[in-house]
Structure 1
Protein backbone atom coordinates (compact mmCIF):
# COMPACT_ATOMS: atom_id res chain seq x y z
CA UNK A 1 0.00 0.00 0.00
CA UNK A 2 1.44 3.33 -1.12
CA UNK A 3 0.55 6.93 -0.28
CA UNK A 4 0.52 9.34 -3.20
CA UNK A 5 0.12 13.11 -3.15
CA UNK A 6 -1.39 15.50 -5.67
CA UNK A 7 -0.68 19.25 -5.81
CA UNK A 8 -1.99 21.76 -8.32
CA UNK A 9 -1.85 25.48 -8.96
CA UNK A 10 -3.83 27.27 -11.64
CA UNK A 11 -1.16 29.71 -12.79
CA UNK A 12 2.48 29.19 -13.64
CA UNK A 13 5.42 28.96 -11.28
CA UNK A 14 6.07 32.72 -11.50
CA UNK A 15 2.64 33.45 -9.96
CA UNK A 16 2.05 30.68 -7.40
CA UNK A 17 4.39 28.61 -5.24
CA UNK A 18 3.41 24.94 -5.32
CA UNK A 19 6.05 24.00 -2.74
CA UNK A 20 3.74 24.97 0.14
CA UNK A 21 1.30 22.29 -0.99
CA UNK A 22 4.13 19.76 -1.23
CA UNK A 23 5.15 20.49 2.36
CA UNK A 24 1.55 20.09 3.51
CA UNK A 25 1.23 16.79 1.62
CA UNK A 26 4.28 15.44 3.47
CA UNK A 27 2.71 16.49 6.78
CA UNK A 28 -0.48 14.66 5.76
CA UNK A 29 1.39 11.41 5.20
CA UNK A 30 2.91 11.51 1.71
CA UNK A 31 6.50 11.63 2.94
CA UNK A 32 8.18 10.34 -0.24
CA UNK A 33 8.47 13.27 -2.67
CA UNK A 34 8.80 10.99 -5.69
CA UNK A 35 5.19 9.93 -5.03
CA UNK A 36 3.93 13.52 -5.25
CA UNK A 37 2.36 14.39 -8.58
CA UNK A 38 2.06 18.11 -9.29
CA UNK A 39 1.20 20.47 -12.14
CA UNK A 40 0.12 23.97 -13.09
CA UNK A 41 -3.31 23.54 -14.66
CA UNK A 42 -6.87 24.80 -14.24
CA UNK A 43 -8.91 22.76 -11.78
CA UNK A 44 -11.73 22.60 -14.32
CA UNK A 45 -9.56 20.94 -16.96
CA UNK A 46 -10.46 17.24 -17.24
CA UNK A 47 -7.42 15.98 -19.16
CA UNK A 48 -4.58 16.82 -16.77
CA UNK A 49 -1.39 14.89 -17.47
CA UNK A 50 -0.14 14.43 -13.90
CA UNK A 51 -3.56 13.77 -12.37
CA UNK A 52 -4.26 11.12 -15.00
CA UNK A 53 -0.84 9.55 -14.39
CA UNK A 54 -1.64 9.37 -10.68
CA UNK A 55 -5.10 7.88 -11.19
CA UNK A 56 -3.62 5.24 -13.51
CA UNK A 57 -0.85 4.44 -11.01
CA UNK A 58 -2.89 3.78 -7.85
CA UNK A 59 -3.86 0.25 -6.84
CA UNK A 60 -6.21 -1.28 -4.26
CA UNK A 61 -5.37 -0.15 -0.73
CA UNK A 62 -3.38 2.92 -1.83
CA UNK A 63 -4.02 6.41 -0.50
CA UNK A 64 -4.29 9.69 -2.43
CA UNK A 65 -3.57 12.82 -0.40
CA UNK A 66 -4.41 16.38 -1.43
CA UNK A 67 -4.62 19.57 0.62
CA UNK A 68 -8.23 20.39 -0.34
CA UNK A 69 -10.93 19.36 -2.81
CA UNK A 70 -10.24 22.34 -5.10
CA UNK A 71 -6.66 21.09 -5.68
CA UNK A 72 -7.82 17.81 -7.20
CA UNK A 73 -10.78 19.31 -9.10
CA UNK A 74 -13.14 22.27 -9.28
CA UNK A 75 -15.69 20.23 -11.20
CA UNK A 76 -18.43 18.52 -9.20
CA UNK A 77 -18.92 16.03 -12.05
CA UNK A 78 -15.25 15.05 -12.09
CA UNK A 79 -15.20 14.76 -8.29
CA UNK A 80 -18.10 12.30 -8.45
CA UNK A 81 -16.15 10.30 -11.05
CA UNK A 82 -13.07 10.25 -8.79
CA UNK A 83 -15.20 9.09 -5.83
CA UNK A 84 -16.59 6.24 -7.95
CA UNK A 85 -13.08 5.30 -9.07
CA UNK A 86 -11.93 5.29 -5.43
CA UNK A 87 -14.76 2.87 -4.60
CA UNK A 88 -13.93 0.62 -7.55
CA UNK A 89 -10.19 0.56 -6.76
CA UNK A 90 -10.68 0.42 -2.95
CA UNK A 91 -8.67 3.59 -2.31
CA UNK A 92 -8.44 5.99 0.61
CA UNK A 93 -8.66 9.74 -0.08
CA UNK A 94 -7.18 12.20 2.41
CA UNK A 95 -8.36 15.75 1.66
CA UNK A 96 -6.75 18.01 4.23
CA UNK A 97 -8.19 16.78 7.50
CA UNK A 98 -11.09 14.95 5.81
CA UNK A 99 -10.58 11.19 5.35
CA UNK A 100 -12.63 9.30 2.77
CA UNK A 101 -12.08 5.57 3.22
CA UNK A 102 -13.22 3.54 0.21
CA UNK A 103 -10.89 0.60 0.87
CA UNK A 104 -13.91 -1.68 1.39
CA UNK A 105 -15.55 -0.49 -1.82
CA UNK A 106 -18.27 1.43 -0.02
CA UNK A 107 -18.76 4.92 1.40
CA UNK A 108 -21.28 5.88 4.05
CA UNK A 109 -24.00 8.31 2.97
CA UNK A 110 -22.88 11.11 5.32
CA UNK A 111 -19.26 11.11 4.07
CA UNK A 112 -20.39 10.83 0.46
CA UNK A 113 -22.74 13.80 0.87
CA UNK A 114 -20.16 15.93 2.70
CA UNK A 115 -17.54 15.29 0.02
CA UNK A 116 -19.92 16.21 -2.78
CA UNK A 117 -20.93 19.39 -0.95
CA UNK A 118 -17.23 20.32 -0.72
CA UNK A 119 -17.04 19.78 -4.48
CA UNK A 120 -20.03 22.06 -5.10
CA UNK A 121 -18.45 24.84 -3.01
CA UNK A 122 -15.10 24.43 -4.83
CA UNK A 123 -16.84 24.75 -8.20
CA UNK A 124 -18.90 27.73 -7.00
CA UNK A 125 -15.74 29.45 -5.70
CA UNK A 126 -14.06 28.94 -9.06
CA UNK A 127 -17.04 30.43 -10.91
CA UNK A 128 -17.08 33.46 -8.60
CA UNK A 129 -13.34 34.01 -9.15
CA UNK A 130 -13.89 33.76 -12.91
CA UNK A 131 -16.67 36.34 -12.76
CA UNK A 132 -14.48 38.75 -10.74
CA UNK A 133 -11.58 38.32 -13.18
CA UNK A 134 -13.80 38.99 -16.19
CA UNK A 135 -15.28 42.05 -14.50
CA UNK A 136 -11.82 43.34 -13.60
CA UNK A 137 -10.52 42.82 -17.14
CA UNK A 138 -13.53 44.61 -18.62
CA UNK A 139 -13.01 47.51 -16.21
CA UNK A 140 -9.29 47.71 -17.05
CA UNK A 141 -10.01 47.57 -20.78
CA UNK A 142 -12.53 50.39 -20.41
CA UNK A 143 -9.75 52.47 -18.85
CA UNK A 144 -7.44 51.74 -21.76
CA UNK A 145 -5.08 49.41 -19.91
CA UNK A 146 -3.29 46.57 -21.73
CA UNK A 147 -4.78 43.19 -20.80
CA UNK A 148 -2.89 39.91 -20.57
CA UNK A 149 0.46 38.51 -19.50
CA UNK A 150 3.71 39.99 -20.79
CA UNK A 151 5.22 37.77 -23.48
CA UNK A 152 8.01 35.41 -22.44
CA UNK A 153 11.41 36.07 -24.01
CA UNK A 154 14.80 34.34 -23.83
CA UNK A 155 15.92 36.98 -21.32
CA UNK A 156 13.01 36.19 -18.99
CA UNK A 157 13.45 32.38 -19.01
CA UNK A 158 14.20 30.88 -15.55
CA UNK A 159 17.89 30.44 -14.81
CA UNK A 160 17.23 26.82 -13.80
CA UNK A 161 15.96 26.08 -17.30
CA UNK A 162 19.01 27.71 -18.94
CA UNK A 163 21.27 25.70 -16.61
CA UNK A 164 19.70 22.30 -17.27
CA UNK A 165 18.64 22.71 -20.91
CA UNK A 166 21.96 21.26 -22.23
CA UNK A 167 21.16 17.98 -20.43
CA UNK A 168 17.85 17.83 -22.30
CA UNK A 169 19.49 18.67 -25.62
CA UNK A 170 22.11 15.94 -25.04
CA UNK A 171 19.27 13.49 -24.24
CA UNK A 172 20.52 12.94 -20.69
CA UNK A 173 17.04 13.82 -19.41
CA UNK A 174 13.62 13.98 -21.05
CA UNK A 175 11.11 16.83 -21.06
CA UNK A 176 9.24 15.59 -17.98
CA UNK A 177 12.47 15.28 -15.99
CA UNK A 178 13.53 18.76 -17.09
CA UNK A 179 10.19 20.11 -15.85
CA UNK A 180 10.63 18.47 -12.45
CA UNK A 181 14.21 19.74 -12.09
CA UNK A 182 13.09 23.28 -12.95
CA UNK A 183 9.98 22.95 -10.75
CA UNK A 184 7.67 24.00 -13.58
CA UNK A 185 4.94 22.30 -15.59
CA UNK A 186 5.70 20.20 -18.66
CA UNK A 187 3.70 22.71 -20.71
CA UNK A 188 5.94 25.55 -19.48
CA UNK A 189 9.08 23.58 -20.38
CA UNK A 190 7.68 22.93 -23.85
CA UNK A 191 7.14 26.68 -24.27
CA UNK A 192 10.60 27.52 -22.90
CA UNK A 193 12.27 25.06 -25.30
CA UNK A 194 10.42 26.57 -28.26
CA UNK A 195 11.44 30.11 -27.27
CA UNK A 196 15.04 29.15 -26.48
CA UNK A 197 15.63 27.11 -29.65
CA UNK A 198 13.97 29.77 -31.77
CA UNK A 199 16.27 32.52 -30.53
CA UNK A 200 19.63 30.77 -30.07
Structure 2
Protein backbone atom coordinates (compact mmCIF):
# COMPACT_ATOMS: atom_id res chain seq x y z
CA UNK A 1 0.00 0.00 0.00
CA UNK A 2 1.33 3.40 -1.01
CA UNK A 3 -0.17 6.71 0.05
CA UNK A 4 -0.25 9.22 -2.78
CA UNK A 5 -1.11 12.79 -1.83
CA UNK A 6 -2.98 14.93 -4.32
CA UNK A 7 -2.61 18.69 -3.85
CA UNK A 8 -4.65 21.00 -6.05
CA UNK A 9 -5.36 24.70 -6.22
CA UNK A 10 -7.72 26.26 -8.71
CA UNK A 11 -5.46 28.96 -10.13
CA UNK A 12 -1.77 29.72 -10.63
CA UNK A 13 -2.09 32.52 -8.08
CA UNK A 14 -2.97 30.02 -5.35
CA UNK A 15 -0.46 27.75 -3.64
CA UNK A 16 -1.33 24.09 -4.15
CA UNK A 17 1.49 23.07 -1.79
CA UNK A 18 -0.07 24.93 1.14
CA UNK A 19 -1.70 21.73 2.46
CA UNK A 20 1.48 19.63 2.32
CA UNK A 21 2.46 20.18 5.96
CA UNK A 22 -1.09 19.50 7.14
CA UNK A 23 -1.24 16.23 5.20
CA UNK A 24 2.18 15.15 6.50
CA UNK A 25 1.14 15.80 10.09
CA UNK A 26 -2.17 13.96 9.59
CA UNK A 27 -0.45 10.92 8.09
CA UNK A 28 2.22 10.91 10.79
CA UNK A 29 -0.52 10.83 13.44
CA UNK A 30 -1.77 7.65 11.77
CA UNK A 31 1.71 6.06 11.78
CA UNK A 32 1.97 6.15 7.99
CA UNK A 33 4.02 8.07 5.45
CA UNK A 34 3.32 9.63 2.08
CA UNK A 35 5.07 7.89 -0.80
CA UNK A 36 4.57 10.62 -3.39
CA UNK A 37 2.98 13.99 -4.07
CA UNK A 38 1.03 15.11 -7.12
CA UNK A 39 0.59 18.86 -7.25
CA UNK A 40 -1.21 21.00 -9.78
CA UNK A 41 -2.91 24.32 -10.25
CA UNK A 42 -6.04 23.59 -12.24
CA UNK A 43 -9.76 23.84 -11.65
CA UNK A 44 -11.44 20.92 -9.93
CA UNK A 45 -14.26 21.26 -12.44
CA UNK A 46 -12.00 19.82 -15.15
CA UNK A 47 -11.76 16.07 -15.51
CA UNK A 48 -8.58 16.27 -17.59
CA UNK A 49 -5.84 17.02 -15.01
CA UNK A 50 -2.28 15.91 -15.82
CA UNK A 51 -1.13 15.26 -12.24
CA UNK A 52 -4.31 13.48 -11.24
CA UNK A 53 -3.96 11.31 -14.34
CA UNK A 54 -0.33 10.60 -13.45
CA UNK A 55 -1.39 9.63 -9.93
CA UNK A 56 -4.03 7.27 -11.32
CA UNK A 57 -1.47 5.74 -13.70
CA UNK A 58 1.06 5.26 -10.88
CA UNK A 59 -1.30 3.57 -8.44
CA UNK A 60 -1.86 -0.07 -7.73
CA UNK A 61 -4.72 -1.84 -6.02
CA UNK A 62 -5.17 -0.82 -2.37
CA UNK A 63 -3.11 2.35 -2.72
CA UNK A 64 -4.54 5.42 -1.05
CA UNK A 65 -5.32 8.71 -2.73
CA UNK A 66 -4.97 11.28 0.07
CA UNK A 67 -6.56 14.74 -0.10
CA UNK A 68 -6.98 17.51 2.43
CA UNK A 69 -10.61 18.05 1.45
CA UNK A 70 -12.77 16.15 -0.95
CA UNK A 71 -13.23 19.27 -3.09
CA UNK A 72 -9.50 19.15 -3.83
CA UNK A 73 -10.26 15.95 -5.72
CA UNK A 74 -13.49 16.92 -7.39
CA UNK A 75 -15.85 19.72 -8.17
CA UNK A 76 -16.91 17.86 -11.28
CA UNK A 77 -20.35 17.72 -12.80
CA UNK A 78 -22.23 14.47 -12.24
CA UNK A 79 -21.24 12.81 -15.52
CA UNK A 80 -17.51 13.59 -15.11
CA UNK A 81 -17.59 12.53 -11.44
CA UNK A 82 -19.07 9.17 -12.44
CA UNK A 83 -16.24 8.73 -14.95
CA UNK A 84 -13.54 9.63 -12.41
CA UNK A 85 -15.15 7.42 -9.77
CA UNK A 86 -15.21 4.50 -12.24
CA UNK A 87 -11.49 5.04 -12.98
CA UNK A 88 -10.71 5.04 -9.25
CA UNK A 89 -12.80 1.93 -8.62
CA UNK A 90 -11.22 0.05 -11.53
CA UNK A 91 -7.76 0.71 -10.08
CA UNK A 92 -8.87 -0.40 -6.59
CA UNK A 93 -7.78 2.89 -5.03
CA UNK A 94 -9.09 3.97 -1.65
CA UNK A 95 -9.68 7.66 -0.96
CA UNK A 96 -8.79 9.26 2.35
CA UNK A 97 -9.90 12.82 2.89
CA UNK A 98 -9.05 14.68 6.08
CA UNK A 99 -12.55 16.22 6.12
CA UNK A 100 -14.26 12.79 5.92
CA UNK A 101 -13.35 10.93 9.14
CA UNK A 102 -15.10 7.75 8.00
CA UNK A 103 -12.47 7.46 5.23
CA UNK A 104 -9.61 7.34 7.73
CA UNK A 105 -10.11 3.62 8.42
CA UNK A 106 -8.35 2.93 5.11
CA UNK A 107 -5.11 3.99 6.83
CA UNK A 108 -5.26 0.97 9.12
CA UNK A 109 -3.15 -1.74 7.47
CA UNK A 110 -5.31 -4.38 9.15
CA UNK A 111 -8.47 -2.97 7.53
CA UNK A 112 -7.37 -3.53 3.93
CA UNK A 113 -9.87 -5.48 1.89
CA UNK A 114 -10.45 -5.66 -1.81
CA UNK A 115 -14.01 -4.39 -1.46
CA UNK A 116 -13.47 -1.24 0.59
CA UNK A 117 -15.86 1.43 -0.65
CA UNK A 118 -14.59 4.75 -1.85
CA UNK A 119 -16.16 8.07 -1.05
Tell me the residue number matched to 2:5: 5
Paired residue secondary structure (2:90): helix
Alpha-carbon offset, residue 106 of structure 1:
5.0
Distance in 2 (CA, whole Å) between partners of 1:88 and 1:9 is 26
Q: How many residues align?
A: 106
- String of CA shifts for 1:81-109, please: whole Å, max 9, x gaps: 333333332222101142175842353xx
Runs of 4+ in structure 1 off by over 6 angstroms are: none
Tell me the residue number matched to 2:23: 25
Relative CO higher for 1 or 2, CA cutoff 8 Å, sep ≥ 6? 2
Q: Is the 8 A contact 2:70 2:99 kept in 1?
A: no
TM-score (norm: length of structure 2): 0.73
Q: Give the structure with the larger helix fraction.
A: 1
Tell me the residue number matched to 1:65: 66
Q: Give the structure with the larger strand fraction.
A: 2
Paired residue secondary structure (1:105): coil
Q: Is the 8 A contact 2:14 2:41 kept in 1?
A: no
Uncovered stretches (5+) of structure 2, i.e. residues with no partner: 107-111
